[in-house]
Structure 1
């Protein structure tokens, strides 16, 4: 579409008029504020509405992303970072094929980005919503507070500000999206990794009830969160590293860059700490920021809340990639450093019989190295098993859930990444990124996008794709076909039964 003429288009929102640009039938409105900048007197406080403006607000370029540390140099060639970060970070982007011309008729897709709750932005080029809009939806992508700004359990009891930001954005969608042609009563949230974990949490939060009607969770489910005790310990130690008192006021006075540095230092400290129980569910992983089960905003671990019936009225499409963990092992140069001793140690730490687990994982991988087996184990532990548990819990309640496995290997790094974490995102959006390679498979992209859009419109991604049930049907998405399989990886899945 490069070189085609642009036309200005204006839409009225509850806070003022926004001016976007239309090209070949799709209008883009970038950097619309859905809340006031969460700094100064509003730092570490729930999002407040933005100040209204007079005249037309130019929304021709993305807004700022939340302050963040960025990725390591080893990951830089694979993961794109936002162009601009800053304090005015609570903004969103809208792509629509019919702003002001099809009020309330089109399905709405709202994207929540990943990045380990520390990095990322809804304005990355790979999340451009033009193709989804051209195919008949209104697409929204958003930014939210990251790191300590968004996911500390603060001394005054405030927690999960990043999740509350996402709810504020969904409230903006409810109140304003009809003017862009979207149906506020047909909203699907979709997201990947931390975004998918966020969505599973949102499905269980009272404040999010009624704000969306379907959900798509890619490579993230409802297990990853911090307990109240772990959240308290992390905040106490972070304040000590930052050199301030353990109070919300003192933390709010720390410059963002200094808080980011303190958070990174705490992550390294946690990763090295072998004291049993000190960091709870994050022991040995270095994960400082996750949603916190604080008893107020998030009342239970999301997977447990789902099993108790939360979100059962929301249709769910969920899945993982075949080789999720290879993105980290290969890119960071760790794959060849994993030994049998390390592998056995991790298996035992998860509560598995190490010898039995190695035999099960090696059965279909006779030539696998310890690093290959470690990747398969971590893919299951962190991604596939949590997704299956959510699907099983919902199936028991009669809630419609569709499960996929994305199996198309990335050509990046000479193909050593396999079908890794993030390998499917560009195909859903119809965009390009380093993981897709120079020639992304157009047919697979078109079919995945069609399935995601069909789910958003009607609650079913494909006519021949059955909901998850007793036969454990999973649709494999490969480079040349979609194949329905029953209980893939069942031998490995059974190992994790009873392991929390």
Structure 2
């Protein structure tokens, strides 16, 4: 790599690095001031402008302070205070490329973990194909989504908005077109895309979206407040701004998951996400987020914007591979009672999934359908005549036999040779599948059409990405009982 050119932003010049693949990267650019001191727990604040070129050749600090033990995607943690930063990967600056389409990537991690510094999120392949990619950091867990009296809610959501506003101000200097911005993300990042689509106040910041295995927050404010109060009790402070500021960040992050369980233990704690939603995430606050996202979609919010969304076949089935040995002898009908109390729902889903004979396999697919796959259908239907394209990722990993959560990300990014891919996709994942999926993403970002019929044209029509990519009208029929 050689030293790259300088781009001028509204806040000051930044110096990136020109890479061997022909792209130019600008890493760790601050889009808001470090949320420390009096700025801690406040909405994102403007940065202090600078005059000398800022070194943008290494990833900036991450809100995630340590890697998750069971993380599938390698997402490094970088120490430091200036966590509200972003990365730009471009085929060239404005004088060379003109107004290229822009893809803004929001990482996943359940709104409590994850990092924009992952090698899987490198924008080299998108830059190769004429797209400017921006990956952003945002506050996580309680810092981003907890309730503090007198402080605005949804600070993590406000971080997304601040980063998108930075893109509007500055992306032309990096060769991008601020009028052709597509937002995209996976898991919590996919949920962020859906949340932004449902927010009337965010519509001017993007023109299209891609939600990959989107996991919605949509938490009731009362529930988030209850969890926040318990966190204060566990941390030994008052549930006030002064109280939370008196506690070190690490003390809060170490206790925030326990606080989200509200005293549940054992099996109840294991199934808490199904019953109560994600531990932390976007809150229905009647200011930024006015109602559940599906209701916003049904009301027509974001209907004029193209959306591509989908899920993997078995998002979290691999979790049940580590279940106790005796689970294999438990009848499926009995095992499902752990996850769903409503008998009619269980029976309806069971009739649509007779092929799932083992309890672990059935429970894994039920969780996948409840959180992810049924949501795809629900939102596609809620958007009615809006431009919506649905996909399904059905390729199974040779490592564990499942088409699981996160497995599809290196295919979308066309980065099968990146660190950590072989551990989940085997030594020889099919490049032809990456070619198909990445091309669909590029076409959608460039032309707002991934190359197959939209849902409104042929309801149920889904592009299935598997061993043999195909079109199907029944790809999500087995999840319909939960819609």
TM (norm. structure 1) is 0.89
Distance 1:19 1:423 in 2: 34
1:21 corresponding residue in structure 2: 17
Cα distance in 1, alignment partners of residues 345 and 434 from structure 2:
40
What SS does the aligned partner of 1:217 have?
strand
Shift of 1:53: 1.4
**How far apart, in 2, do the equivalents of 1:380 and 1:469 lie?**
24
Of 61, 66, 80 in structure 1, the residue corresponding to residue 63 of structure 2 is 66
1:24-423 to structure 2, matched below 5 A, reads 24-68=21-65, 70-72=67-69, 75=70, 78-102=72-96, 104-156=98-150, 158-220=152-214, 222=216, 224-267=217-260, 269-272=262-265, 282=273, 287-330=278-321, 333=323, 337=327, 339-340=330-331, 343-349=335-341, 352-362=344-354, 364-365=355-356, 368-394=357-383, 396=384, 398-412=385-399, 415-416=400-401, 418-423=402-407
**Which deviations, in whole Å up to 9, do the C-alpha atoms of 1:209-257 show, x marking residues without a partner?**
21000000000155x3211211211111111111111112211221110
| Matched residue, 1:430 | 414
Cα 1:40–1:67, aligned 2, differ >3 Å: closer, same or farther?
Answer: farther
Q: Deviations along 1:71-129, whole A, 9 cap, x unmatched?
A: 23xx25x3423141342110110011111324652000010000011111111111111
1:317-353: CA deviation from partner (whole Å, max 9, x where unpaired): 00000111124333x5569747447623245335644
Q: Kindly indicate whether residue 476 of structure 2 is the aligned counterpart of residue 493 of structure 1.
A: no
DSSP-derived class of the 1:30 partner: strand
Query: SS at the partner of 1:31?
Result: strand
For 1:68 and 1:346, the matched residues in 2 are separated by 34
SS in 2 for 1:209: helix
The structure-2 alpha-carbon separation of the partners of 1:55 and 1:95, relative to structure 1 and needing over 3 Å to count, comes to: same
Aligned mates of 2:326, 2:50 — CA distance in 1: 56
Counterpart-to-counterpart distance in 2, 1:206 and 1:122 = 26
Instruction: Spell out, residue by residue over 1:127-184, the C-alpha distance to the aligned partner (whole angstroms, 9 max, x if none).
Output: 1111111111001101100011001122225211111101100000011000110000
Q: What stretches of structure 2 of length at least 5 have no aligned partner?
A: none
SS of equivalent residue, structure 1 residue 349: coil
User: SS where residue 93 of structure 1 aligns?
Assistant: strand
Q: 1:12 aligns with which of 8, 12, 29?
A: 8
Mean Cα displacement is larger for which, 94-103 or 42-51? 94-103
Q: Which runs of 5+ in 1 are unaligned?
A: none
Q: 1:290 to 1:349 in 2, by over 3 A?
A: farther
1:430-471 Cα distance to aligned partner (Å, 9 max, x none): 223232322232111122111101111111001x44334553
Q: How many residues align?
A: 474
SS in structure 2 at match of 1:238:
helix
Secondary structure of 1:210's partner? Answer: helix
Query: Residues of 2 paired with 1:54 and 1:468: CA distance?
Result: 51
Q: Name the SS of the counterpart of 1:183 in structure 2.
A: strand
Answer yes or no: is the 8 Å Cα contact 2:64–2:114 preserved in 1: no
Which secondary structure state, in structure 1, belongs to the residue aligned with residue 471 of structure 2?
strand
* Residues 451 and 461 in structure 1, CA contact (< 8 A), matched pair in contact too: yes
CA RMSD of aligned residues (A): 2.4
Distance 1:429 1:274 in 2: 37
Measured in 2, the distance between the counterparts of 1:159 and 1:426 equals: 33
* TM-score (structure 2 length as normaliser): 0.92
Contact residue 106 and residue 189 of structure 2 kept, 8 A? yes
Deviation at 1:293, TM superposition (A): 0.3
The alpha-carbon distance between structure 1 residues 375 and 46, as it changes in their structure 2 partners (threshold 3 A), is same
Separation in structure 2 between the aligned mates of residue 206 and residue 351 of structure 1, nearest angstrom: 38
Structure-2 change in CA distance of 1:27 and 1:351 (3 Å): farther
- Tell whether the 8 Å contact from 1:221 to 1:387 is kept in structure 2 after alignment: no
Say whether residues 1:452 and 2:438 are aligned partners.
Answer: no
Write the deviation string for residues 404-429 of structure 1: whole angstroms up to 9, x where unpaired: 000111233xx23x110001101111
Conservation of the 8 A alpha-carbon contact between 2:105 and 2:134: yes
Give, in whole Å, the separation in 1 of the partners of 2:109 and 2:337. 27
